[in-house]
Amino acid sequence: MKNIYIILLSLITLSCGGGKKQSIETIISEGNLKKIREKRAEIVTKEQEIVAQLKLLDAKIAELDTSKKIPLITTFKVKDTVFNHYLELQGNVQTKQNIVIYPEISGTLLHVYVKEGQRVGKGQILASIDDGGLSQQVAQLQIQADLAKTTFERQERLWKQKIGSEIQYLQAKSSYEAQQKAVNHLQKQLAKTTVRAPFTGVIDDVITEQGTVVAPGQSQLMRIVNLRNMYIETDVPESYISNISKGKKVEVEFPALHKTINTYVRQTGNFINPANRTFKVEIGIPNKGQHIKPNLTAKLKINDYTNKNALLIPQSIISENAKGQQYIYIIEDKKDNAEAIAKKIIIKTGKMQGDVIEVLDNIKSGTEIIKEGARSVKDGQTVKIIN
């Protein structure tokens, strides 16, 4: 401490000494440029000496002062981590086997053979419509077709025996074929009076009751749904077209069901919608318990980027300078007493997920980074680690 007092005394002497010399005010008032410059040079020299001496004083004070205040910080060591980035979207559950069945022929709905909630198989009869006399017409035509067939067969045998003319044989053949086509046509029309299940599923709603007159394309008979082949179709921005492909992992959350499932992208669209610059993505939804229903809202997380050796840090410790550069503080020269020097480094960041972000350069695995207190330290400042 004795040395400090000696230095202080010297400073006071320098500032107060030279009383016999002219004052600055006197020199300025004389207007002598040479003297003014000489005085300025003298003061600058003294200023440099004082600054150097102040540094010596500060260093000695820091050495002797046991009550100095050093910023307290916490740190963590960054290490290689598998980083999966997810694109978050929304979508609705759909199924390609969810249709309303319409009649193919006009008539009265005679019978409905199924109930709501009933499981049915593909081809099973669901309802029947009055045929309006079609069955009788088919029976009459069938009699005529049978007669034409008998006539043709007899004429064919005679023709093979070289009996009769060729024209008689051809006429009998043409008559038979025409009659058979007429029968087939009416049989197809008659088949339309029987409503069958187009696929295996569940009768979700019986819309029209029996006894109602129905018409093709107008009267809704019932809705049938198959909950096995479910999927979600959503629009993805075109900027992700190279990152999202068939087979990519997807995490699907159903808020209404409090349920999350893991699935994959089963199809990506090949067309960019010019209206919103997006392409379609189809995601398969397993539905063994059949709890997932059509039009159910879902939150999607599609894995669009993976880095097996990523360096991740919390976003909260990143600051930005006036040039828009991002920086963090690391520690150097760590001592046994847990004191170290804070060093500012400029970083380049990549993708972020949640509260962490990927750092692409200027740090490596094992680098010790300041976490708590990162925004209150300065470059080159002494800090104390309290991990």
**pTM to 2 decimals?**
0.59
279 shares a domain with 376: yes
205 shares a domain with 353: no
Band (197; pLDDT cuts 50, 70, 90): very high
CB-facing half-sphere around the CA of 104: CA atoms within 13 A = 11
pLDDT at 281: 95
Residue 356 in contact with residue 310, Cβ under 8 Å?
Answer: no
264 shares a domain with 274: yes
β partners of residue 311: 80
Q: Of 210, 208, 204, nearest to 220 (Cα)?
A: 208
103 shares a domain with 250: no
Tokens standing for residue 372: 């708590």
291 shares a domain with 150: no
Strand order in the sheet with 222-225: 98-101, 222-225, 201-206, 119-120
Q: Which domain holds residue 151?
A: 98-224
- 233-289 pLDDT, tens digit per residue, is 999 999 999 999 999 999 999 999 999 999 999 999 999 999 999 999 999 999 888
Q: At what angle do helices 33-64 and 2-16 cross, to 10 degrees?
A: 170
CA–CA dist 371, 355 (Å, integer): 13
Q: Of 349, 348, 344, nearest to 377 (Cα)?
A: 344
Residue 174 in contact with residue 91, Cβ under 8 Å?
Answer: no
CA–CA dist 120, 226 (Å, integer): 10
Residue 244 in contact with residue 266, Cβ under 8 Å?
Answer: no
Residue 111 in contact with residue 103, Cβ under 8 Å?
Answer: no
Distances, alpha carbon 383 to alpha carbons 89, 210, 234, 318, 346, in Å: 44, 86, 51, 18, 20
352 shares a domain with 257: yes
Can you give the CATH number for the domain in which 333 is found?
2.40.30.170
pLDDT at 16: 45
Q: At what angle do helices 134-160 and 166-191 cross, to 10 degrees?
A: 160
pLDDT at 10: 53
Which of 15, 39, 64 finishes a domain? 64
204 shares a domain with 271: no
CA–CA dist 340, 329 (Å, integer): 12
Would you report the helix, strand and coil content of the chain in percent, each value rounded to 5? 30, 35, 35
pLDDT at 9: 45
151 shares a domain with 36: no
**In this structure, how many other beta carbons lie within 10 angstroms of the beta carbon of residue 351?**
16
Which of 165, 199, 224 finishes a domain? 224
Residue 204 in contact with residue 118, Cβ under 8 Å?
Answer: no
246 shares a domain with 371: yes
Residue 261 in contact with residue 274, Cβ under 8 Å?
Answer: no
60 shares a domain with 76: no
Residue 164 gets the label, from left (phi > 0), alpha (psi -120 to 50) or beta, of left
109 shares a domain with 212: yes
Please give the tally of structural domains in the chain: 3
- 6-38 pLDDT, tens digit per residue, is 444 454 444 444 445 678 888 888 888 888 888
79 shares a domain with 53: no
Please, what is the average pLDDT of the chain? 88
- 82-117 pLDDT, tens digit per residue, is 999 999 999 999 998 899 999 999 999 999 999 999
pLDDT at 66: 58
Please report, as a single letter, which amino acid is at residue 171: Q
For residue 34, how far is the Cα from the chain centroid?
76
